């Protein structure tokens, strides 16, 4: 492969990786708060502090939150309630929830 092709492919790869990061930043914390109040708070607490055996999700990194929700959504990780809720959420819902919980330190 010549140097021009390598340079072009490198730029395309960098753009693809950067745009993925931008998609994560698109979450709306205010919208996430409304969604969390409706579904997540009963098990994870109003601010994601965790209740009983349910884990703390406040302060969680947005990418980690989204990845966690996706493994429940696909059934890769098993938990009856989480699978049920995750399957109902769109990518935007997950981004909004991730932004809300990431802001809660």
Domain holding 77: CATH number?
Answer: 1.10.760.10
Q: Is a pLDDT exceeding 70 seen at residue 92? A: yes
Nearest residue to 39 via CA among 64, 101, 52: 101
Q: How many domains does the chain have?
A: 1
Nearest residue to 74 via CA among 83, 65, 66: 83
Domain with 49 in it: 3-103
Q: What pTM, to 2 d.p., does this model score?
A: 0.75
Q: Per-residue pLDDT tens for 1-60?
A: 666 555 444 444 555 444 444 444 589 999 999 999 878 999 999 999 999 999 999 999
Q: Report the run of H or E that residue 17 belongs to, with start and end.
A: helix 3-24
């Amino acid at each position: 492969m010549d140097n021009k092709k390598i340079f072009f492919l490198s730029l395309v790869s960098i753009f693809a990786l950067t745009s993925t990061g931008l998609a994560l930043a698109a979450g709306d914390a205010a919208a996430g708060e409304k969604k969390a109040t409706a579904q997540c708070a009963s098990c994870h607490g109003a601010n994601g502090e965790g209740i009983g055996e349910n884990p703390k999700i406040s302060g969680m990194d947005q990418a980690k939150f989204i990845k966690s929700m996706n493994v429940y959504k696909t059934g890769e990780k098993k938990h009856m309630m989480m699978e049920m809720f995750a399957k109902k959420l769109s990518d935007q819902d997950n981004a909004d929830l991730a932004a809300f919980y990431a802001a809660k330190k």
